[in-house]
Chain A
Amino acid sequence: GNSVTQMEGPVTLSEEAFLTINCTYTATGYPSLFWYVQYPGEGLQLLLKATKADDKGSNKGFEATYRKETTSFHLEKGSVQVSDSAVYFCALSEGGGSNYKLTFGKGTLLTVNP
């Protein structure tokens, strides 16, 4: 079946540091890939998405590129802020009639210190 593996946290960075959270996936077919973020006490929010190979999703300074050859979708940000502290989830959707069934990674807790 489909699966998503992301780097285990927690990740602790200083403000303005560079962030990378690794994500790799296993899937049949051509899934869409997502990063969701969960701030403390809140539900998940879509951060960015990519629907086909070589697509780059971007939002709020975060970027991730859909790499089919390495089955990866790593999340990056050039300069993190304290407000970026949250749990980040990589996910894929199987597409077609299963567009709404997302398979999530375990999540990576990011803490940014001032």
Chain B
Amino acid sequence: KAGVTQTPRYLIKTRGQQVTLSCSPISGHRSVSWYQQTPGQGLQFLFEYFSETQRNKGNFPGRFSGRQFSNSRSEMNVSTLELGDSALYLCASSLGGGAHAGELFFGEGSRLTVL
């Protein structure tokens, strides 16, 4: 069974540009969430989608947005990039609630460098 796939794995952008990151969840998983990982702040929750609807959102500015498609694949977009947006962006998919609540399967991440 294929794991969570994130593309691209590495990218370099300059300030003011925008970026789109993609995530393909494990087959059958309908929930996709995104996290930002930095050395200083650690792992911070960005947002979570389920069946194309955003259910939860973290404390990030409106420059950070996302969406989910009918096949559960998800994208996140960051506009007007700032140096502080340099981070590893992790996508995680989940089977669902009940006994599996909180059990996330993470991809390897997309490492964004903003120059």
Which A residues between 32 and 56 are near B, CB-CB below 8 angstroms?
A: 32, 34, 36, 41-46, 49, 51
A88 sits at the interface (CB 8 A): no
Describe B's contact surface by its main secondary structure. strand
A114 sits at the interface (CB 8 A): no
A97 sits at the interface (CB 8 A): yes
Cβ contact of B97, chosen from A43, A46, A99, cutoff 8 A: A99
Identity of the chain B residue whose Cβ is nearest the Cβ of A33 in the assembled complex: B102
Describe A's contact surface by its main secondary structure. strand
How many A residues touch B, CB cutoff 8 Å? 26
Q: Which of B11-19, B61-69, B71-79, B104-112 binds A?
A: B104-112
Looking at the assembled complex, report how far the CB atom of B70 sits from the nearest CB atom of chain A, in whole angstroms: 19
Which residues of A does B touch, CB under 8 Å? Answer: 32, 34, 36, 41-46, 49, 51, 89, 91, 93, 95, 97-107
